[in-house]
Every structure is written in C-alpha cells, then in structure tokens.
C-alpha cells in the first residue's frame, strides 16, 4: 500500500477522499436511488433544474426561458440556481441511463462534490506548501466541515466548492510559472465556479484581492512585471469568454424589470457565536443549544470553524509567513459574513454598521442575493489552506511528525464531523408518470408544496400554471396572486368563481388536471370536477375538455 501511495499519490489521495466522503455522508450511499441528499426544500428545486436542462435542450429551446412554469406566460431563468456545470455533466446521463432514478442523478453530483473538493484543495496546498501528506490533510479539512455539510440540506450550487481551489491553484501557478497553461487553468476553473453560483464568483473575487494585496509585500516585482500582467490578462479573457454571455444575460434581465424573492441581509447574517459553537450540521449539536437562536436557517448558520483547525492556522501564521495571506482571506470572510449588523446569540446589537453594509451600498447586486453568511466560505477556505502550512511543518518535524499530523487532523475532523446525512423523498405516483406519455401540450395547476410541485413536473412533464423558481419577476407573482381562477390556489384567500366560469377559465389556460394536497383541497373541490387520482398525499382533479 505504501509503495502504491509513493508511485500514485494523486490516485491514493482521491481514493481516500472518496472513502472519507462515504463515511461523512452516511447514509446517503445506501439510499442513493431511493431518496435525495437534502431535505424537502431546495434540493428538489435543483433536481428539477437538471430535468429542465434535459427537457429544454432536447426540444431545442433556451434553458434560460422556461415555458413549463408560470404557464402560459413563461418565466426568465437567468437567476435560477442551476449549478450549471453539474447540469451539463448530467445531460447525457438522462439518455444513457433511462432506468436510473432521478434522485440518483442528483446524488451523483452531490456526492462527487466532496471527494473532488478535497482533491482540488489538496492540489492547491501541494502547490503552495509542497509534499503530499500535509496537503492531503488540508484537503480533508476543507471538504469535511460545517459549511460544506450545512449547505447540503439543499444548496448544491454552494456545496460545489470544488472549483474555487482549482482557480487559486491556477492563480498561484500564474504568478510562479511562465506559459499559458496556468492562466488557462485559472480562467476555466473560475468559469466553472462562477457558473455553479454567483456566490462563488464573488467569494473568489474577494479572496483574490486579499491575496494579491498580501503577495505585494514579497512578490511585488513579479506581480508588476509585464509577463505576469499578460498572463493575468489571458486569465481574465478566458473567464470572460466562457461566462460573459451568462452574466450579460443576468444584467440585462435585472435591469429589464423588478424581481421578487431577494433575501433580507440582516436575517441571513452569521451570528458571531456560529463560528465558535457546533451548530445544526454538527454531530455534536445535541450538546449545544445556542445554535437554535442563530439567525437564518440551519443551512445558513453552519459557519463553525473548529478550534483545532483554527489553532493550526494561527500556529502557521506565527511559523510560516506565507500562510498569513491565506489567513487574511479567512479574517475578511469572517468580518463580511457578520452582515450589516452584529448578531450575538440571536440578538441584533446596536452600534455602527459593519463593513458588509458598505459593500452592499457599493454593490447593489448584493441586496438581490442578500445572504452575507455565505462569506464564511472564505473562513473555511483560508483556515484550511493556512492549516496546511502548519501540518507541513509538523510532518517535517521528525520521524513521528507524519503520525502526529494525522492524529491532529483526525481530532480536527472529529470536532467538525457532521451528523447523519439528511435525505428526503417524495412519492412518485404511477398516475403522474403515465401522464408523461401524452404528447399533447396541456397544463396542470399544482398547488402542493413548492418543491413537490417541481418533483411532480419531473414525473408528468407537462407545463404548470404555478411553479417555484429562485427569482421570478414581480409581475408574474402578481398574476398568480390576483388572477381570479388562480388566487384560491396560489394567493392569500380568494374564492373559486362559479363553476361554469371557473371551468371556462381553466379550459382557456389549457389546464387538464388540478393537483392539490390537504391545504388546498377545498378550492379544488369547489370546481365540481371529478377526481382522477387520489393517494400518496395528493388528490388529482380532472378538468373536462372544451366542447368542440
């Protein structure tokens, strides 16, 4: 085994990350084909997004305008949380593996993010600190932590942390080495990160500024040289070539009309204690109660660093000067993640606004996203890379150095180890799957829970009058809430129009079925149409076809 590790260290490292991910995500693997990794929230929205890419590309339609939701108007999808690299990677699998359950496709890219993230962090740490063991251990700290597992509840686009270390690997090599390979790598990796999520682009941008500022002290001649600036220009050009169309489309859509669904930055700020107290994502959460009071939700409050990882990073700052720039990245992330106002133990404190408020004023797009706690990725990233420097020092300290480094890392992983991986499932009624065989273009009203609506569409593959999207234009929100026949299903209150009028309105919309759960069943019954299916917690009503 040791001989194999010496001959093929990268293969061994990746295999070890796969094994580590299998243990940390348990029981995802035994439920791989029967349940989705995550709760009943946004994981199902992302799975729907994968189906929508398959469906739209197969029909030759643009994935960035969805005619299958908000029927008959359609809805722009520029701000949908697709995780574009994952969606594109899965495109051929829809056809090549037709018998594979849809949830297994989602679980494939979800699970892969853990070993791949560890591996790319390993490659970065190997470039920065050298060796194999210490970089491997640093990669383990990067991929097994509260942030990575907290967002696994449903934010696959945030969980896709594997591209950012690859970008910084290319950036470091762009500074250190001649040639076009490094800037091309950095530009492509940054494009992958940016198309997975706007947040990754923003985080990489902030970290890049911090690192360049830190490197100016020791690398000023190299940073200001014409050769480096030309390589940097190639990096930027590569990124813009690959992603410019996407962000141009987003800017045009943002300016065209107001969108609903932005988050309150104050609510989604990191609580100061969330960095130092095991939270909902932790295996130790039962021993701590304060995380229940943190702002945001269980996914967004998962900022816990771990005291051993933090101690390693601080030790590196004292002993390895080169690690300080990476620790500075963590410090900036810590400050920005606190949001516009300081929260401690669930309480917003008074006082002057925090730096995030200034950043939000300078970049209005931040108000549209509104989740400052996600800047805590910078803490996770910076601490893990800096810890790699400390582990490298330990490994080289003597014969027992490697054993000591492994022991310390094991304790650090135990400290941040996640609780049992959350999985969820929705029923897949045969009745809905059978509807997919009908090639005629007609629609449904689905008034079940938001993500269950999307799962139903994956099954029946027909347009929906409603539909849960990440960001929708305000005009479409008003149409759902104010159109008389739709208000009882999607608005606050409202009554179904008289039967004949209601049936005509549904027929004009080409609605053939109305799907409800217990919450909206009274409105569906008021239509006076027959039940086509009942079971699995839903009732499906069939609207009669228009005469003639």
10-residue stretch averages of pLDDT, the chain, 548 residues long: 71 96 98 97 97 96 96 96 96 93 98 98 98 97 97 96 98 94 98 97 97 90 92 98 97 93 87 93 89 85 95 97 97 96 90 90 81 96 98 94 97 97 97 96 96 98 94 93 91 86 95 95 94 97 85
Which among 469, 507, 516 has a CA at the least distance from the CA of 488?
516
Q: Which helix (H) or strand (E) holds 156?
A: helix 156-159
Which among 103, 199, 188 has a CA at the least distance from the CA of 155?
199
Instruction: Report the distance separating Cα 519 and Cα 446, nearest Å.
Output: 12
Q: Which 8-state DSSP code applies to residue 462?
A: -
Inter-helix orientation angle 102-129/84-96, to 10°: 130
Q: Output phi, psi for 406, to 5 deg.
A: -65, -40
Residue 515: beta bridge partners? 446, 540
Instruction: Report the distance separating Cα 309 and Cα 438, nearest Å.
Output: 56
Position of tokens 């896709």?
Answer: 160
Q: How far is CA 136 from the centre of its chain?
A: 24
Instruction: Report the distance separating Cα 505 and Cα 101, nearest Å.
Output: 36
Which among 265, 246, 233, 288 has a CA at the least distance from the CA of 88?
246
Residues 512-527 as b or e (16 or more Cβ within 10 Å = b): bbbbbbeebeebbeeb
Q: Is 237 exposed, middle or buried (0-12, 13-18, 19+ CB in 10 A)?
A: middle
Which among 495, 308, 337 has a CA at the least distance from the CA of 408?
308
Instruction: Report the distance separating Cα 376 and Cα 368, nearest Å.
Output: 18
Which among 47, 6, 60 has a CA at the least distance from the CA of 154?
47
Q: Which two tokens stand for residue 2?
A: 């040791």
Residues 321-346 as b or e (16 or more Cβ within 10 Å = b): eebbbbbbbbebbbebbbbbbbbeee
Q: Which 8-state DSSP code applies to residue 36?
A: E
Q: Which two tokens stand for residue 316?
A: 């590196």
Please say whether the beta carbons of 275 and 375 come within 8 A.
no
Q: Interior CA angle at 394 toward 390 and 397, to 5°?
A: 140
β pairing state of 511-516 and 443-446: parallel
Position of tokens 């994956």?
Answer: 458
Instruction: Quote the pLDDT of residue 421.
Output: 97
Instruction: Quote the pLDDT of residue 124.
Output: 98
């Amino acid at each position: 085994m040791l001989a194999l590790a010496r001959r093929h260290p990268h293969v061994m490292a990746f295999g070890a990350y796969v094994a580590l991910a299998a243990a940390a995500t348990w029981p995802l693997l035994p439920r791989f084909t029967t349940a989705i990794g995550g709760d009943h929230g946004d994981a199902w929205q992302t799975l729907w997004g994968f189906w929508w890419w398959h469906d739209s590309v197969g029909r030759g339609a643009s994935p960035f305008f969805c005619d299958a939701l908000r029927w008959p108007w359609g809805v722009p999808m520029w701000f949908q949380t697709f995780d574009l690299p994952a969606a594109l990677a899965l495109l051929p699998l829809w056809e090549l593996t037709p018998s594979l359950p849809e949830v297994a496709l989602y679980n494939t890219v979800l699970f892969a993010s853990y070993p791949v993230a560890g591996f790319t962090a390993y490659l970065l740490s190997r470039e920065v600190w050298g060796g194999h063991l210490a970089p491997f251990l640093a990669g383990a700290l990067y991929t097994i932590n509260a942030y990575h597992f907290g967002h696994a509840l449903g934010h696959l686009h945030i969980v896709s942390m594997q591209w950012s270390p690859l970008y910084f690997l290319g950036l470091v090599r762009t500074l250190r080495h001649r040639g076009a390979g490094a800037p091309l790598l950095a530009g492509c990796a940054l494009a992958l990160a940016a198309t997975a999520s706007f947040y990754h682009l923003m985080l990489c941008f902030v970290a890049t500024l911090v690192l360049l500022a830190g490197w100016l002290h020791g690398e000023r001649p190299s940073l200001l040289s014409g050769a480096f600036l030309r390589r940097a220009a190639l990096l930027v050009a590569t990124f813009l070539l690959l992603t410019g169309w996407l962000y141009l489309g987003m800017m045009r859509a943002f300016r065209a009309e107001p969108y609903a669904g932005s988050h309150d930055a104050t609510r989604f700020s990191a609580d100061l204690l969330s960095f130092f107290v095991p939270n909902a994502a932790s295996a130790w959460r039962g021993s701590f109660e304060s995380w229940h009071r943190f702002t945001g939700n269980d996914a967004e409050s998962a900022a816990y660093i771990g005291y051993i990882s933090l101690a390693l990073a601080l030790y590196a700052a004292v002993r390895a000067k080169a690690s300080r720039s990476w620790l500075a990245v963590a410090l900036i992330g810590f400050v920005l993640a606190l949001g516009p106002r300081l929260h401690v133990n669930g309480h917003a404190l008074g006082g002057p606004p925090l730096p995030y408020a200034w950043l939000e004023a300078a970049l209005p797009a931040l108000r549209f996203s509104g989740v400052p706690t996600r800047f805590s990725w910078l803490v996770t990233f910076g601490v893990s890379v800096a810890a790699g420097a400390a582990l490298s020092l330990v490994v080289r300290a003597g014969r027992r150095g490697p054993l000591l480094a492994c022991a310390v890392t094991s304790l650090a992983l135990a400290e941040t180890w996640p609780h049992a991986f959350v999985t969820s499932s929705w029923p897949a009624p045969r009745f809905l799957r059978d509807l997919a065989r009908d090639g005629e273009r007609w629609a449904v009203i689905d008034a079940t829970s938001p993500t269950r609506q999307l799962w139903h569409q994956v099954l029946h593959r027909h347009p929906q009058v409603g539909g849960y999207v990440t960001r929708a234009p305000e005009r479409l929100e008003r149409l759902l809430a104010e159109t008389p026949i739709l208000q009882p299903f999607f608005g606050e209150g409202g009554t179904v129009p008289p039967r004949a009028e209601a049936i005509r309105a549904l027929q004009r919309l080409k609605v053939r079925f109305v799907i409800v759960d217990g919450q909206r069943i009274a409105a569906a019954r008021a239509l006076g149409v027959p039940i086509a299916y009942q079971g699995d917690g839903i009732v499906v009503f069939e609207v009669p076809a228009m005469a003639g």
